[in-house]
Amino acid sequence: MFGLFLRRLRPVSGPPGPLSARLESSLSACGAPELPAARIRSTFLDFFRQKHGHLLVPSSPVRPRGDPSLLFVNAGMNQFKPIFLGTVDPRSEMSSYRRVVNSQKCVRAGGKHNDLEDVGRDVYHHTFFEMLGTWSFGDYFKEEACQMAWSLLTEHYGIPVDRLYVSYFAGDPGSGLPADEETRHIWLELGVPPGRLRPFGLKENFWEMGDSGPCGPCTEIHYDHVGGRDAAALVNTDSPDVVEIWNLVFMQYNRELDHSLRLLPQFSVDTGMGLERLVSVLQGKRSNYDTDLFMPLLHAIHQRSKVGPYGGRTGATDEGNVDMAYRVVADHIRTLSVCIADGVHPGMSGAELVLRRILRRAVRFCVEVLQAPQGALASLVPTVAHMLGDVYPELHREADRIADVINENEAHFLSSLQQGSRLILRTLSRKDYKHGVFPASVAWSLHRDLGFPLDLVDLMLEERGVQVDRQELDRLIAENQKVMSELQSGVQSQVMLDVLSLAELQRLRVPHTDDSFKYQYTLEQDQYVFPACSATVVALYDGQTLASEVTEGQRCGVVLDRTCFYSEQGGQSHDQGYFTRDGLQDVVYPVEAVVLAGGYVVHQVTAADSLKTGDQVQLHLDQVHRLSCMVKHTATHILNFALREVLGPSVQQRGSHVSADRLRFDFSVKGSLSVSQLQQVERCVHDIISANHIVHSQELPLQTARSIDGLRTVDEVYPDPVRVVAVAVAVSDLLDGHTDRPTSVELCCGTHLLQTGAIEDLVIVSERQMVKGISRIVAVTGRDATRAREAGQVLSQDVDSLTARLTSSAPLGLDSAQRLAKEVGVLSDAVDNTPVPQWQRRELQSRLKALQRTSNTTVRKLETREAAVRARALLEKNGGRQLQVDSVETDSLSIVMKTVNQLSAAAPHSHVMLLAHQRHSGKVLCACQVPKDSSSLSASDWAVAVCRHLGGSAGGSTLVAKGTGSSSDITEALRWAEEFARQKIQR
């Protein structure tokens, strides 16, 4: 199917180059590198950790932490953005980072950095790669960074100096930026010849985080694969011979919203070097795929394929694109393994959609080009785990689950291919199909609903000599992008302090907000009491800079010296309420959002009157909203515990959100929960609620807290000290090991109940697999839970009543049977859409499906019986004439169709059309059938012509068709239909 597609690809090829004598010696006689990738990685980390006092920070998962601007972590600096932006929690370990080194898992596919379609075409693009990185946060700067980089490359890795070139920032007069002469002089002092120092502009040597934020000049070190020549002119020309290996970014400016630049109060260094490219240099390879990071995988792929071994060919020399397929599969299985281990699963939107495309691309090349059997792709996971698992141990832990996810998605895709082929064939066989032009709407449906890559749709059509209506398809794509953009922009942006304003607050020694008051509530006579809170305005932010005063109607961020408002974090919604100003008690300042930035709690308000720093305010918390959030948050912890108790320790939290009306909880599990499992989880939760256990909380040093047995954590940067929340068992007892009682214990900054009884009840109203291996539960509590149970009981009684009527021994007439069938449909919609216990929904859905089958069977039998009566009457009236056009009395198109079928069976050489006129509405039902050997008149042409004449539409096949229209004169309609057919038959 895809042979034509594979022949049409034109990968970029680079000429092979000789290994330098210095690097050739790094290869042993048996072909294994003397300097393996694992040692290259550890040498980098040890050099900075042991020789230069850097802290080794583990790689973050490839799913970004709380950064909606990214699909995947695509650079080493992503996890450190809070430091660069000044928003890092001052109580967290991250706030103490000064010198850091790590090897970060990165994925570049989708979004701004998208290498997906280039992978396989050349020998150096990847979707997954490791970024070796170093950082200085306000510690050393340009000189030390350059010295360390040069020393590691030339002295420790032994790269010949005459192979290296350096680029630096040439300045940009239009931006008012001078050339980075400081960096140039540093390189000259380190011995880099002037001829090997190359200046470049903004595009090549000025790095920016985004449209606004920290930025600065960078200097890059480039390597010449050929050597023995002056290759300075090839730097930054995309030459495969001269490649960048290390980028050193000096963050010294902040890009403002008006695009101007201001110096940062603290300068930082961010360097990054791709491990795959470094390994190819040090192992003397021109291709990353020829290194020990990929060769074991390529060997494993060959063992599973029916083609020759990997040959490293590109472009026209790669016959059948076999080597391209090897590279695609080797790269993509690494990406799939790492992403799935980190909780990103193939799905229908965002990062999950990108991963689904990666998986399907890998499956296509694996099955079609490499001729590997189904399941071969997943069987490569142990090889990936063996190669990367020592550095990223989650690959070992999750290997079985990764393979399961890949196998399930592969099977689904191969099934979708067959379904898509059938849909294309059906579309091409339709009578309204315009020859040579395939409907864009169908192509878009294949892409959107079945996950077909659009290039695959093109291929399948091209093999049949057909093309998509490209103009209309482009319009549909643009329309979809516009809708997605509007959805994203619909969220009102928050007023967030920028890095310069945060630095100014610190320079002015404005103390961090004391938000401990959010926890200072008590339980008195079964009522929660939230004490009053007064505060002083210590800072105002107008969206661009700090201000001493804001005026009426101005949207701003208000920083107080203390607050009782909870800022949005840890999956819990921010508090609601308002504050009033002393001396102006009648004017209310509603709090629209509450966010935490660098230790400062920012209350977003639209000023109802003027407000100045130093003003005294009274805070008024929406206590009902807060208590509802407390109920849901404590219930979430109990639900998390119950899921683990019922499903086992493999359950891992993958996300949660707590709001006043409901809770949402995402977790890893192979498939949807059964009715029994849902009931067990709810019973476990109810037992804890009924016991009215005390909810204990205590602040502990982070390391101490992590030692607690059974502690549940998620991938977050926790403050130190950290708050520990435990149900039924005091935190001190958990620390002392005085109890072996299993209980809910988590690190959590949220606000919680003091006793579990206030939850009253919990009902899981939804549970479904978001993507393979990740389920989402939505639950309600208290009165909402009670209402859900009551609604479930009512619907259950309705189903009981309907069952009794359908299974009654009393004979049913057609009208009664049709009404009951409609009732089943209406009741099914109610069960699907009403908040009821999910276990009960599943039971009722199962019963209703059985009732639907029963009622449909009953209706079909009664319709067939009635159609037989009508057919006999018409046969007696018309006999077996060649052309029979007549009317019947019914309001069911199905009966009209069945009557036509029976008439045609009794008179197989007749052309039959029946019309049914609905006198009250004027609607006309139409059905027809023609003999199998009818060449002059097709059923679809006949029905379409008649229904169009009646202002309606029709469809069908050559033999049978049906449709609708409207007319006030059924006699005229019958005459027209008969005349149309007679002319066709006589012709």
pLDDT value, residue 203: 93
**Residue 912: what are its φ and ψ, rounded to 5°?**
-115, 130
CB 280 within 8 A of CB 291: yes
pLDDT digits 0-9 by tens, 448-458: 766 676 777 77
Question: CA gyration radius for the chain?
Answer: 35
pLDDT digits 0-9 by tens, 536-570: 999 999 988 999 999 998 999 999 999 999 999 88
What residue type is 679 in one-letter code?
A: Q
CB 351 within 8 A of CB 344: yes
List the single range of 425-439, 519-533, 612-626 with lowest mean pLDDT: 425-439
pLDDT value, residue 717: 81
pLDDT digits 0-9 by tens, 181-205: 999 999 999 999 999 999 999 999 9
pLDDT digits 0-9 by tens, 389-414: 999 999 999 999 999 999 989 998 88
Confidence of residue 20 (pLDDT cuts 50, 70, 90): very low
The C-alpha torsion from 861 through 863 and 866 to 867, rounded to 10°, is -110
Residue 153 token pair: 């490359």
Residue 563 token pair: 């607050």
CB 379 within 8 A of CB 403: yes
For the question of whether the overall pTM of this predicted structure is more than 0.85, the answer is: no
Query: Among 71, 104, 69, 103, which Cα is nearest to 85's?
Result: 69
More confident residue, 487 or 44: 44
Query: Among 870, 885, 898, which Cα is nearest to 970's?
Result: 885
- Measured between alpha carbons, how far is 84 from 61 in angstroms, rounded to an integer? 19
pLDDT value, residue 114: 61
pLDDT value, residue 483: 64
Residue 688 token pair: 């804890």
What burial class does residue 860 get, using C-beta atoms within 10 Å of its C-beta: 0-12 exposed, 13-18 middle, 19+ buried?
Answer: middle
Confidence of residue 22 (pLDDT cuts 50, 70, 90): very low
**Residue 887: what are its φ and ψ, rounded to 5°?**
-120, 155
pLDDT value, residue 241: 92
- Measured between alpha carbons, how far is 520 from 697 in angstroms, rounded to an integer? 12
**DSSP bridge partners of 695:** 727
Count the neighbouring beta carbons within 10 Å of the beta carbon of residue 237: 9
CB 372 within 8 A of CB 363: no
Read out DSSP for 215-263? EEEEEEEEEESS-SS--GGGTTTT-SSEEEEEEEEEEEEEE-TTS-EEE
Q: How would you classify residue 737: left for phi > 0, otherwise alpha for psi between -120 and 50, otherwise beta?
A: left
List the single range of 367-371, 391-395, 467-471, 831-835 with lowest mean pLDDT: 467-471
- Measured between alpha carbons, how far is 900 from 914 in angstroms, rounded to an integer? 7
* List of E strands, 598-678: 600-606, 611-612, 616-621, 653-658, 663-668
More confident residue, 193 or 68: 193
Q: Measuring CA to CA, how many Å separate 7 from each of 34, 326, 330, 660? A: 38, 16, 20, 57
On the question of a cis peptide bond just before residue 721, with omega within 30 degrees of 0, the verdict is: yes
What burial class does residue 86 get, using C-beta atoms within 10 Å of its C-beta: 0-12 exposed, 13-18 middle, 19+ buried?
Answer: buried
Residue 605 token pair: 């308000």
- Measured between alpha carbons, how far is 262 from 252 in angstroms, rounded to an integer? 8
Mean of pLDDT over the chain: 89
Three-state SS sequence of 517-557? HHHCCEEECCEEECCCEEEEEEEEECCCCEECEECCCCEEE
pLDDT digits 0-9 by tens, 566-610: 999 888 999 999 999 998 888 889 999 999 999 999 999 988 889
pLDDT value, residue 807: 82
More confident residue, 33 or 384: 384
**Residue 697: what are its φ and ψ, rounded to 5°?**
-145, 145
The C-alpha torsion from 219 through 224 and 228 to 234, rounded to 10°, is -70
- Measured between alpha carbons, how far is 767 from 780 in angstroms, rounded to an integer? 12
3-state secondary structure of 367: helix
Count the neighbouring beta carbons within 10 Å of the beta carbon of residue 32: 11
CB 100 within 8 A of CB 80: yes
**Residue 522: what are its φ and ψ, rounded to 5°?**
-130, 165
pLDDT digits 0-9 by tens, 118-129: 788 888 889 999
Query: Among 745, 761, 670, 760, which Cα is nearest to 711's?
Result: 745
Is pLDDT above 80 for 435? no
Query: Among 923, 921, 939, 925, which Cα is nearest to 980's?
Result: 939
pLDDT value, residue 431: 54
pLDDT digits 0-9 by tens, 942-976: 999 999 999 999 999 999 999 999 998 999 999 99
Residue 232 token pair: 């300075």
pLDDT value, residue 486: 54
The C-alpha torsion from 667 through 670 and 676 to 677, rounded to 10°, is -30
Query: Among 743, 742, 682, 499, which Cα is nearest to 598's?
Result: 499
The C-alpha torsion from 847 through 849 and 851 to 855, rounded to 10°, is 180
pLDDT digits 0-9 by tens, 647-680: 999 898 988 999 999 999 999 898 899 999 999 9
pLDDT value, residue 258: 82
pLDDT value, residue 39: 96
- Measured between alpha carbons, how far is 8 from 172 in angstroms, rounded to an integer? 42
pLDDT value, residue 327: 96
What lies within 8 Å, CB to CB, of 783 at 6+ separation is 760
Query: Among 730, 732, 725, which Cα is nearest to 641's?
Result: 725
- Measured between alpha carbons, how far is 104 from 272 in angstroms, rounded to an integer? 10
pLDDT value, residue 433: 63
Read out DSSP for 173-208? GGGTBPP-HHHHHHHHHTT--GGGEEEE-HHHHEEE
**Residue 14: what are its φ and ψ, rounded to 5°?**
-120, 145
pLDDT value, residue 109: 86
Q: What value does the mean pLDDT take over residues 803-819? A: 82
Size (the chain), residues: 987
List the single range of 57-61, 141-145, 812-816 with lowest mean pLDDT: 812-816
What lies within 8 Å, CB to CB, of 444 at 6+ separation is 473, 476, 477
Query: Among 407, 445, 405, which Cα is nearest to 423's?
Result: 445
Confidence of residue 493 (pLDDT cuts 50, 70, 90): low
Q: Measuring CA to CA, how many Å separate 48 from each of 76, 104, 147, 319, 545? A: 15, 15, 12, 45, 38
Is pLDDT above 60 for 216? yes
What lies within 8 Å, CB to CB, of 512 at 6+ separation is 90, 598, 599, 600
pLDDT digits 0-9 by tens, 305-341: 999 999 999 999 999 899 999 999 999 999 999 999 9
- Measured between alpha carbons, how far is 954 from 932 in angstroms, rounded to an integer? 20
Q: Residue 309 gets which letter from DSSP?
A: P
- Measured between alpha carbons, how far is 654 from 770 in angstroms, rounded to an integer? 11
pLDDT digits 0-9 by tens, 814-862: 888 888 889 999 999 999 999 999 999 999 999 999 999 989 998 899 9
Three-state SS sequence of 410-456? HHHHHHHHHHHHHHHHHHHHCCCCCCCEECHHHHHHHHHHHCCCHHH
pLDDT digits 0-9 by tens, 260-272: 888 988 999 999 9
pLDDT value, residue 515: 95
pLDDT digits 0-9 by tens, 742-773: 999 999 999 999 999 999 999 999 999 887 78
Query: Among 627, 626, 663, which Cα is nearest to 642's?
Result: 663
Residue 515 token pair: 């938000």
Percent of the chain with pLDDT over 90: 65
Percent of the chain with pLDDT over 70: 93
Confidence of residue 710 (pLDDT cuts 50, 70, 90): confident
Q: Residue 30 gets which letter from DSSP?
A: T
Residue 485's Cβ-side half-sphere holds a number of Cα atoms within 13 Å equal to 6
- Measured between alpha carbons, how far is 285 from 272 in angstroms, rounded to an integer? 21
